[in-house]
């Protein structure tokens, strides 16, 4: 106000002087005086203009900050900004200083810029051009939801980079950008230079990298622990553009992600060696992530998934809707009791905030054999999931794929497997528990157990559970042959799996010499020191049995049956109290030239009786180790009608030999001749 009064005073003074001169001229029309007064007036006018200009300049200089602030506020308001404030510290001929610039709520500003130094020239200002801008710190806070990115009060600035004013390079000593999502907050920080590029800006981070801090995220009922990393631009020129033109590409350093349930239990641990990301910020935030050599762990399931090459593309990051693809990965079971061998897996699927679906191909990591296709879903909310598995046909060979290599719980139960099998399974899981049921088909499967070689196994099986394998009773398989010292063919086996690794044999039956041999009960327990079975011999035709043994000169009639208890003890089959008896009278005959060599006495009498022995009782007892020394006792009661007028005889023959050898036709024939020659023959 004082300056205004001063200017008004100068005006009144000039007016008074002008009126006085006019009055003097009218009274003194002297020519010379007239010229003198004109010169005086001219000098006075110049002095007056200089004084006015100086006063105006002094006023502008003293009010330059306020005047510039008024012009800036007007320009920002015309640009559409509503909620903003700033503190202009100084304005000069070559630069200006702004203490702070705020957009949004001052308590929680959307944009806060501090310590701004603007460098310019007067000629540059006339050309709407600045030399440079240096900024101490920038802080941006944005929000996003299912509708996309919310810029709030910054929206008028989105497309306003170029305009008519060229700001020159903008260096930022420190910046922080926070994106608040419904799931949590993500903060980027660093430093860099911003340059005008067309209608937007080109952002050049220092060293091409920014720091990334992710707070605790809540994703569909699960929590991700906070983590930090460094993200480096990987676009062609290493820069970022705003508004985005072709998207933002960057990679990160190593990242450790820990996913927990809402109760705090660890559901997933993921170690990424590096992450490559491509983001597009439009109406929706699109994000594609790629990683190589990552390692995942599922502690609750006792599983790890390593050496993973994986990518996932979110069409909308906020809603977490997208697709994923797995090009490499190895699934390993680290449970205390291993359930399966390492598996190689590839596949793809979809992902949402609450779950993921998958369509996978599974191969054996050791032989690279394709094992199965797997389709299913997994809930990230509660850790539950299910899958449908289609396996096979799996081709087994001794030098290739083996069941016990795939499923360690079968170790020792099945070895040297050949043939093929196929299966379908339904598997489900929840934290700490995995279950499965399956249907399997065996085609000409062959395998070895501790005591036998089995070939030509065919049939269908239904597994009530897979971890460990368990079935209902009454599973039936057709068996081409069993070689357990003697060969049995065309049998059937009815059994079940007890879920503890044991095979419960309900009935195993083979046709034998006109009758049957049946394993009527028993449990096969891998690794058990002792296991017990019972062989039932039912209605075996003695004539067919002798023919099967190929005993030259021997013949007979009758039916024999009995029971042979067998205990597998440390791998040896021990027979205890095995007895076979004839169910009805019959005839037994042995005629051979070898009997001529037998000395006289009771031995000769026995062989004479055996030439046509009509027995009324026949009992064969077996005792001992069938793979070592087995004691056989043959008890006969009857008579030879042509000897002593049919005088009754009781003949007892004892011998020790290997049952496995006795039951091979050639060896048994030799042993029979040895018996007839008197070796080990006694009569009582």
Average of per-residue pLDDT values in the chain: 79
Question: Can you tell me the distance from the alpha carbon of 186 to that of 178, in angstroms, rounded to the nearest whole number?
Answer: 6
pLDDT of residue 677: 31
Residue predicted with more confidence, 667 or 621 = 621
pLDDT for res 45: 60
For residue 19, give every residue at least 6 positions away whose Cβ sits within 8 Å of its Cβ, in sequence order, or none: none
Whether a cis peptide bond, with omega within 30° of 0, leads into 468 is yes
Of 613, 619, 605, nearest in space to 638 by CA? 613
pLDDT of residue 661: 54
- In angstroms, the CA 484 to CA 452 distance is 4
Question: What's the pLDDT at 205?
Answer: 82
Q: Where do we find the tokens 């085609």?
A: 443
The model's pTM: 0.60
Query: From residue 303, how far is each of 257, 330, 431 by CA, in Å?
Result: 16, 10, 11
Q: Is residue 458 scored above 90 in pLDDT?
A: yes
Among 93-102, 299-308, 563-572, 638-647, the range scoring the smallest mean pLDDT is: 563-572
Percent of the chain having pLDDT more than 90?
24
- On the question of pLDDT at 461 being above 80, the answer is yes
- Whether 248 shows a pLDDT value over 80: the answer reads no
Arithmetic mean of pLDDT, 588-614: 71
Average pLDDT over residues 436-454: 88
Q: What angle do CA 345, 347, 350 make, to 5 degrees?
A: 135
* pLDDT-derived band at 133, boundaries 50, 70, 90: confident
Condensed to tens digits (0 to 9), the pLDDT of residues 78-102 reads 778 888 888 888 888 888 898 999 9
Which of the 8 DSSP states describes residue 662? H
134, 136, 139, 140 alpha-carbon torsion, rounded to 10°: 0
Confidence of residue 36 (pLDDT cuts 50, 70, 90): low
* Mean pLDDT confidence for 605-610: 82
Residue 599 has pLDDT above 70, yes or no: no
Residues 6+ apart with CB under 8 A from 510: 479, 482, 488, 489, 490, 491, 516, 517, 518
Mean pLDDT, residues 111-137 taken together: 87
- Two structure tokens written together for 568: 């597998």
Distances in whole angstroms, Cα of residue 281 to Cα of each of 314, 315, 352: 12, 11, 19
pLDDT at residue number 232? 81
pLDDT of residue 485: 62
Non-local CB neighbours of 249 within 8 Å, separated by 6+ positions: 233, 234, 235, 276, 277, 278, 279
Q: Of 34-43, 255-264, 373-382, 587-596, which range is least confident?
A: 34-43
Helices (H) and strands (E) in the chain, counts: 9, 40
Listing DSSP states for 378-409 in one string gives EETTTS-EEEEEEEEEEEE-TTS--HHHH-GG
Q: For 593, list phi and psi in degrees, rounded to 5.
A: -65, -20
30 vs 498, residue with greater confidence: 498
User: Using 50, 70 and 90 to split pLDDT, how confident is the model at 324?
Assistant: very high
Phi and psi torsions of 206, nearest 5°: -65, 130
Residue 188 to residue 214: CA distance in whole angstroms: 9
Q: Which residue has the higher pLDDT, 95 or 40?
A: 95
pLDDT of res. 22 = 41
pLDDT confidence bin for 325, thresholds 50/70/90: very high
Confidence of residue 682 (pLDDT cuts 50, 70, 90): very low
Q: Across residues 462-489, what is the average pLDDT?
A: 87
- d(C-alpha 297, C-alpha 290), whole Å: 18
Confidence of residue 666 (pLDDT cuts 50, 70, 90): very low
Tokens of residue 354, six digits? 């609450």
Give the pLDDT band of residue 442 (cuts 50, 70, 90): very high
Specify the residue for token string 């019972």: 534
Q: Where are the domains of the chain?
A: 75-380, 384-493, 529-684
Q: Could you tell me what percent of the chain has a pLDDT over 70?
A: 79
456/443 Cα distance (integer angstroms)? 8
Which run of H or of E encompasses 628? none
**CB contact at 8 A, 314 and 288:** yes
* Opening angle at CA 550, ends 547 and 554, nearest 5: 70
DSSP string for 187-212? EEEEEEEEEEETTEEEEEEGGGEEEE
Name, in order, each residue with C-beta under 8 angstroms of 582's C-beta and a sequence gap of 6 or more: 542, 558, 559, 560, 615, 617, 618, 619
């Amino acid at each position: 106000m004082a300056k205004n009064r001063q200017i008004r005073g100068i005006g009144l003074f000039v007016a008074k002087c002008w009126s006085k001169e006019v009055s003097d001229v009218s009274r003194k029309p002297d020519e010379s005086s007239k010229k003198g007064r004109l010169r005086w007036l001219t000098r006075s006018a110049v002095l007056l203009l200089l004084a006015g200009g100086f006063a105006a300049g002094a006023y502008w200089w003293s009010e330059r900050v306020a005047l510039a602030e008024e012009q800036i506020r007007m320009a920002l308001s015309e640009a559409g900004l509503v909620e903003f404030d700033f503190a202009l510290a100084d304005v000069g001929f070559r630069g200006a200083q702004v203490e702070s610039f705020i957009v949004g709520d001052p308590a929680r500003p959307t944009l806060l810029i501090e310590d701004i130094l603007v460098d310019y020239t007067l000629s540059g200002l006339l050309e709407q051009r600045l030399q440079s801008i240096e900024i101490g710190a920038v802080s941006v806070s944005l929000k996003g939801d299912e509708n996309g990115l919310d810029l709030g009060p910054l929206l008028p600035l989105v497309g306003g980079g170029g305009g008519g004013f060229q700001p020159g390079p903008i260096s930022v000593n420190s910046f922080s950008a926070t994106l608040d999502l419904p799931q949590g907050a993500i903060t980027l920080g660093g430093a860099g230079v911003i340059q005008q590029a067309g209608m937007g800006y080109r952002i050049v981070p220092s060293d091409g990298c920014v720091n990334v801090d992710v707070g605790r995220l809540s994703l569909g009922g699960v929590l991700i622990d906070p983590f930090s990393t460094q993200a480096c631009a990987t676009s062609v020129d290493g820069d970022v553009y705003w508004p985005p033109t072709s998207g933002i590409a960057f990679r990160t350093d190593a990242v450790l992600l820990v996913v927990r349930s809402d109760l705090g239990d660890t559901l997933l641990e993921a170690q990424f060696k590096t992450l490559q990301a491509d983001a597009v910020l439009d109406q929706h935030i699109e994000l594609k992530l790629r990683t190589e050599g990552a390692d995942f762990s599922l502690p609750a399931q006792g599983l790890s998934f390593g050496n993973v090459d994986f990518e996932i593309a979110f069409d909308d990051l906020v809603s977490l809707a997208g697709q994923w693809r797995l090009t490499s990965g190895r699934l390993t079971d680290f449970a205390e009791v291993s359930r399966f061998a390492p598996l190689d897996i590839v596949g793809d699927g979809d992902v949402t905030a609450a779950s993921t679906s998958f369509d996978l191909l599974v191969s054996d990591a050791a032989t690279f054999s394709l094992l199965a296709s797997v389709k299913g879903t997994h809930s990230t909310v509660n850790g539950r999931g299910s899958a449908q598995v289609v396996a096979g046909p799996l081709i087994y060979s001794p030098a290739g794929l083996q069941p016990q290599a795939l499923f360690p719980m079968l170790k020792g139960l099945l070895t040297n497997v050949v043939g093929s099998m196929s299966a379908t399974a339904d598997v489900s899981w929840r934290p700490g528990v995995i279950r499965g049921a399956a249907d399997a088909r065996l085609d000409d499967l062959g395998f070895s157990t501790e005591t036998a070689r089995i070939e030509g196994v065919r049939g269908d099986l239904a597994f009530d559970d897979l971890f460990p394998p368990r079935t209902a009773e009454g599973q039936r398989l057709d068996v081409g042959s069993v070689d357990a010292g003697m060969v049995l063919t065309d049998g059937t086996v009815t059994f079940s799996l007890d879920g503890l690794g044991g095979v419960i044999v309900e009935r195993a039956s083979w046709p034998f010499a006109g009758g049957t041999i049946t394993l009527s009960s028993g449990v096969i327990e891998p690794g058990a020191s002792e296991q017990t079975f019972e062989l039932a011999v039912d209605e075996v035709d003695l004539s067919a049995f002798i023919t099967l043994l190929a005993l030259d000169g021997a013949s007979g009639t009758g039916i024999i049956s009995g029971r042979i208890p067998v205990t597998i003890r440390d791998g040896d089959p021990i027979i205890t109290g095995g007895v076979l008896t004839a169910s009805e009278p019959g005839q037994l005959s042995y005629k051979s030239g070898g009997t001529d060599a037998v000395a006289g006495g009771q031995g000769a009498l026995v062989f004479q009786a055996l030439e046509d022995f009509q027995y009324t009782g026949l009992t064969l007892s077996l005792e001992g180790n069938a793979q070592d020394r087995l004691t056989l006792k043959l008890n006969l009661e009857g008579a030879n009608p042509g000897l002593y007028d049919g005088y009754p005889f009781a003949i007892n023959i004892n011998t020790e030999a290997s049952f496995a050898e006795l039951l091979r036709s050639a060896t048994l024939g030799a042993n029979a001749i040895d018996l007839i020659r008197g070796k080990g023959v006694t009569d009582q």
